[in-house]
Structure 1
Amino acid sequence: MQSDPLKNGLVGHWKFAGDARDHSGHENHGRPHGVDFSAPGRSGKPGTAARFNGVDDCIEVKHHPTLSLGNKDFSIATWVRLDEAHDDVIGDIAGKYDPVERRGFNFYVTASSSGYNSHGDSRHLHFGIDNAMEESWRDCGALHPTNTFVSSLTAHDGRLYAAQADALGDGSDSCHVYAYSGGHEWEDCGRVSDDLRQRSAYSLIAHRGHLYCGTGQQDWQAAGPELCNFSHVYRYVGGREWEDLGQVGRNYRILGLASYKGDLYCGTDVSHPQVFPDSGNVFRYAGGQQWEDCGRLGEQVHTFALMVHNGELFGGCMGEIYRYLGDRNWEYLGQPLGNTQVHCLEVYRGDLWAGTWPQGYVLRYHHGQKWENGGVVGERHERTTDPVNEINDLTVHNGSFFAGVIPRGEVCRYEGGRQWRVVRRLLANPDYDPHQLDSWARVPSIAAFDGKLFASTGTCRGCPQERPHHEAGRIYSTQIGRAVSWDRDMGSSWNHVAAVRENDRLRLYLNGHQVACSDSIPASCYNLDTAVPMYLGFGSVDYFSGDMEDVRMYCRALHREDVATLASQSAGDSAW
């Protein structure tokens, strides 16, 4: 009798048929933390899938020699169903990764959340391995010769988009969005607004299958009725066309956008002494060109950052952090460690983190009004009389947690505890002086795309220049270990996903089809052995939010035919 090829090399098989037991014969049984095993699977029958709540549910699989990956081939495959209503970061399908040693693999679903923006609702699939490998950074070009600031980077529908802060001239060359074409090339997707007094394409997000952009004036010192008009939000139609969704309150900058429970939210900033009742508030899109006022974060008139986490919407402003309660109500969550501005929020390893000014604290949220100091990023305080560190972006990619920082234009990596390390200074201004604001440099936006980490640069105020510094207003990329990604929305129905390490390549499959393949990998450099447990439904991004069925781990590379067979199986075919 011929053996079943799908049993060859099987070292873990968690059917989730009412429990987390391993059916491979190797007794790699899972220890559930929470997890609802009564969920219906693809057949619709209760008790055939595991439901993960996205908050604290996961399954821990103790390390065993059969799960030692080393330099060898391996594969992991499963069925997942993701939630339709977006109110949390989706999170990790599986991972066996040591964040201290930066060794292991990560398999997860997430979306872009660059700059001050929350995660979009587009569900992108990522798979990566690392062994603390460092790579050089590659120059990916600039958007416009006189632009000095790239406001936002966002992956949407298989492309990477970049928002331009400004350009010299009458305004016709400013406020554009571009799409990456490879190498140093960027395709002009048009001026977002027909109003030449809207100078900056500021915020970007993917929401309900479309790309949205909030406008404003990047140079906050120039924001006001003398030089610009009130800000709008626009939806990308395609080519070089944008649809005007209307003015959002009486504000001169839309700093952050969020996709939350099916609705589009935006945070506004007036940046001018003349303040109106709807200045600096958060708004929800109501259709057409109408926006519903969702209230103000305390008494603040500057809403910088928005982020979804564990079913809730959070906002950061002038030092204070709030949670949305509905209608026009926000709950105060504190002003941690005396910071005066909260510029970004992100989710890392299941927790909400905040990046601040001027000390450069990165803070981890506990509960109530309690925040933990996660370290200082940026200029050492002894070099300057006053602290001048601002965290412009926080991003997770392939197991690592990154920050983009003022005043020295640096990308930094979290090393655990309160430790951060500079990975690369992307804008090395030779005239830098910690006491001179116009000499400062930023990394405004960091995003994952095509298995790589991209980061943009900017001068402090983003003012256009005839001959900018050669590193200002550019985009750079690097490899963090090796990774592949599917940068299109997976949707909310059941999908079969598989991640494969095969010789010197990583391969990613969706519903039986290969959707990504890495460049050649020096296999000897990627020994993934680590004694940490493997987790299903948890990892470097977040606790998984959704349903999972029939997880399989192999100590070999699945062939295309193997993956296609698994993806074509009817519900209940994994009963052996």
Structure 2
Amino acid sequence: MLKPVRGKCHGLGTLWITLVWLGLETGFAPGAVRAEEPARLVGHWLLTGDVLDRSGREQHGINKGVMFPRIAGGGRRASGVFNGQGAHVEIPLKPDTLGGTGDFSLAAWVEMTADTTDLPGSIASQFDESQRRGFSLGFATNTGVTSSQANFRQIEFGIDNDRDEPGWTDHGRPGNALLIFALCAHEGALFAGTCEAGPTEAGRVWKLDARNEWIDLGAPDRCNSVSALATFEGELYAGVSKYRLAGSALAESENPNKGGRVYRYRGEQQWEDCGQLPDTEAIGGMVVYGGKLYASSLYKPAGFFRYEGGTNWTACPLPNGKRVEALAVWNGGLYASSYDQAHIFRFDGREWSDLGQVGPPENTQTYSFAVYRGELYVGTWATGRVFRYGGGTNWIDCGRLGQELEVMGMLVHNGQLYAGSLPLAEVYRYDSGNSWNRLVQLDKTADVKYRRAWTMAQYRGRLYCGTLPSGRVWSFAAGANATTDRELSPGWHHVVASRRGNRLSVHVDGKSVAESAPLAPADYDLTTDRPLRLGAGSTDFLQGRMHDVRLYRGALSAGEIETLSRE
């Protein structure tokens, strides 16, 4: 029997939830009500052989490396090929193209490739990072968020004008969680893997439903933690562990059962055993790469494994015998952090390359990954600094999170990079250069040495973060966002992102698939002199093809969207 546990909202978070509820019930939202402007085509780029504007406004693009195959007859087969590694189209828009606070729609045919050796990346953006102003549309795949693959091939559409929700929302403590070890958005829901340390307790998986209640999906195993979650071939996988709480300066769990197994969710509280990783008591990370599911060992002996189906796992090579922990995908490689030294390693499907020490010798571990604006970022212990990969063995210092010692989960949310920390469980937002802005302390448990803002995921347009030792889940929204929270299948899809009145919406193949919370239109003046970029944005560059991009001043109707999806 599924057991609901209701979360709580405190402080300013309560006010925000109330406003959302009023908007849903009455159809009104904060801000003035405006008459809708009929959709008018203000940009049209077929992307078949060139980057010219067919709308008559002569807003022609500048090709930054997009390839056009020479195929007779044109159409989608001759559309632009975006390589995921810098290729994009830059379009200087005229000042009157979009109204600053007005409605608009962007429609495009986009190919989601089956290749999982790179991130699918961004579709389109016009965003000024320094002002946090503009919009972005793309695919969210967040890998290496400490131990989990938090989002996988999900569409995200956001606008911002330097607007933050006034407080973080407390979604409560699932069960007796001591640590929210894993978060994953899958099939329209948020899943959390927990560490529950009592002698008769076990790590469990919980699902947050639309009523803000935690639904108990059971304990896949008898060990104390569900340490990793990932979506693979449309299903949810969970890795389990015997977590050594002394690593967080807490009393060890009295549960003696070892982990190291992976399970597949079968509904209700049913979990299918997918096998034991050899000589592994705890799983350090899981990720999909090259069409396969990979997992690593948290503790010694080091181990790195590939799933072969059933209960079978193949042991893969290790980089110089070192442990690999957080696992991330970027630009054709699988990247791994390590607790044995502060190095990053790159796996190409056959062998590893050592990308060198990250930061000064004081750094002894690398912890988490994020891809931001097409570049790879990594968090470290014990200097609490974030570094950006500069090629070869070069790592560029991007600054320290306050006075923190360790960088935990990192994730890009609505155009900006966020990171959690230890020992105060704080969350920071990256400004630029070496500058980070402290937003909040999420765990204020007294009389403990370490508090962790451990892992993150994006769900329902919000940034979620789990903590230790309070075992709670919190969320926050910057700007306004609509996210699909479901994996998009490979192949061509017609995607439409719209701003209409007090909502954002996303349509895929003519069907409505996501909608934002209500917003105050006057708060979101998106006026910027930044160019429109196709295939580039706040996450990675687009990997795949794009065709027939149309920009409208005014929002398309449902009927107009359906008609376009049939062309």
TM-score, normalisation: structure 2: 0.88
Distance, in Å, in 1 between the alignment partners of 2:425 and 2:343 is: 25
Contact in 2 for aligned 1:230/1:250 (Cα 8 Å)? no
The offset of 1:167, in angstroms, is: 3.8
Instruction: Report how many aligned residue pairs link the two structures.
Output: 522
Distance, in Å, in 2 between the alignment partners of 1:424 and 1:164 is: 22
Contact in 2 for aligned 1:150/1:444 (Cα 8 Å)? yes
Matched with 1:76 is 106
Distance, in Å, in 2 between the alignment partners of 1:340 and 1:34 is: 39
Greater shift in the superposed pair: 120-129 or 50-59: 120-129
The offset of 1:16, in angstroms, is: 0.8
Matched with 1:334 is 356
Distance, in Å, in 2 between the alignment partners of 1:395 and 1:406 is: 16
Matched with 1:466 is none
CA deviation profile, 1:409-448 (whole Å, cap 9, x unmatched): 11110001110011111112344xxxxxx33211111111
Contact in 2 for aligned 1:100/1:415 (Cα 8 Å)? yes
Contact in 2 for aligned 1:68/1:530 (Cα 8 Å)? no
CA deviation profile, 1:521-565 (whole Å, cap 9, x unmatched): 111111111111110000001100111110000111111111111
Matched with 1:458 is 468
Q: Please give the secondary structure, in 1, of the residue aligned with 2:218.
A: strand
Contact in 2 for aligned 1:378/1:407 (Cα 8 Å)? no
Letter in 2 for 1:374: C
Distance, in Å, in 1 between the alignment partners of 2:387 and 2:269 is: 40
Matched with 1:385 is none
Q: CA separation of 1:225/1:326 partners in 2, compared to 1, >3 Å: closer, same or farther?
A: farther
Distance, in Å, in 1 between the alignment partners of 2:370 and 2:303 is: 21
Distance, in Å, in 2 between the alignment partners of 1:125 and 1:36 is: 24
Q: Please give the secondary structure, in 2, of the residue aligned with 1:67.
A: coil
Does 2:236 align with 1:211? yes
Distance, in Å, in 1 between the alignment partners of 2:566 and 2:76 is: 21
Letter in 2 for 1:516: A
| Unpaired runs of at least 5, structure 2 | 1-36
Greater shift in the superposed pair: 96-105 or 504-513: 504-513
Contact in 2 for aligned 1:143/1:474 (Cα 8 Å)? yes
Greater shift in the superposed pair: 411-420 or 119-128: 119-128
The offset of 1:264, in angstroms, is: 0.4
Contact in 1 for aligned 2:98/2:104 (Cα 8 Å)? no
Distance, in Å, in 2 between the alignment partners of 1:111 and 1:326 is: 20
| Aligned counterpart for 1:362 among listed residues 386, 408, 423 | 386
Distance, in Å, in 2 between the alignment partners of 1:167 and 1:407 is: 20
Matched with 2:517 is 519
Q: Please give the secondary structure, in 2, of the residue aligned with 1:116.
A: coil
Does 2:272 align with 1:233? no
Does 2:58 align with 1:27? yes
Q: CA separation of 1:16/1:115 partners in 2, compared to 1, >3 Å: closer, same or farther?
A: closer
Distance, in Å, in 1 between the alignment partners of 2:123 and 2:428 is: 26
User: What's the % identity of the aligned pairs?
Assistant: 34
The offset of 1:218, in angstroms, is: 2.6
The offset of 1:84, in angstroms, is: 0.8
Does 2:300 align with 1:316? no
Letter in 2 for 1:320: H
Does 2:371 align with 1:347? yes
| Aligned counterpart for 2:399 among listed residues 368, 372, 375 | 375
Distance, in Å, in 1 between the alignment partners of 2:359 and 2:144 is: 24
Distance, in Å, in 2 between the alignment partners of 1:208 and 1:121 is: 13
Greater shift in the superposed pair: 174-183 or 72-81: 174-183
Q: CA separation of 1:378/1:232 partners in 2, compared to 1, >3 Å: closer, same or farther?
A: farther
Letter in 2 for 1:247: Q
CA deviation profile, 1:266-319 (whole Å, cap 9, x unmatched): 12122xxxx5xxx2121111222221111223232x322111101111111031
Letter in 1 for 2:283: I
Q: Please give the secondary structure, in 1, of the residue aligned with 2:478.
A: coil
Q: CA separation of 1:449/1:8 partners in 2, compared to 1, >3 Å: closer, same or farther?
A: closer
Matched with 1:443 is 453
Letter in 2 for 1:262: G
Matched with 1:462 is none
CA deviation profile, 1:208-267 (whole Å, cap 9, x unmatched): 111111111233538899933251111111111111111112122211101001100012
Q: CA separation of 1:121/1:73 partners in 2, compared to 1, >3 Å: closer, same or farther?
A: closer
Q: Please give the secondary structure, in 2, of the residue aligned with 1:19.
A: coil
Distance, in Å, in 2 between the alignment partners of 1:495 and 1:184 is: 31
Contact in 2 for aligned 1:120/1:259 (Cα 8 Å)? no
Distance, in Å, in 1 between the alignment partners of 2:204 and 2:255 is: 22
Does 2:219 align with 1:188? no
Letter in 1 for 2:460: D
| Aligned counterpart for 2:96 among listed residues 43, 47, 66 | 66
Matched with 1:435 is none
CA deviation profile, 1:301-340 (whole Å, cap 9, x unmatched): x32211110111111103111111433x311100121321
TM-score, normalisation: structure 1: 0.87
Distance, in Å, in 1 between the alignment partners of 2:305 and 2:70 is: 36
Distance, in Å, in 2 between the alignment partners of 1:14 and 1:204 is: 39
The offset of 1:63, in angstroms, is: 3.5
Letter in 2 for 1:103: R
Contact in 1 for aligned 2:183/2:229 (Cα 8 Å)? yes
Contact in 2 for aligned 1:114/1:154 (Cα 8 Å)? no
| Aligned counterpart for 2:82 among listed residues 30, 52, 58 | 52
Q: CA separation of 1:373/1:165 partners in 2, compared to 1, >3 Å: closer, same or farther?
A: same
| Unpaired runs of at least 5, structure 1 | 1-5, 380-387, 432-437, 460-471, 570-576
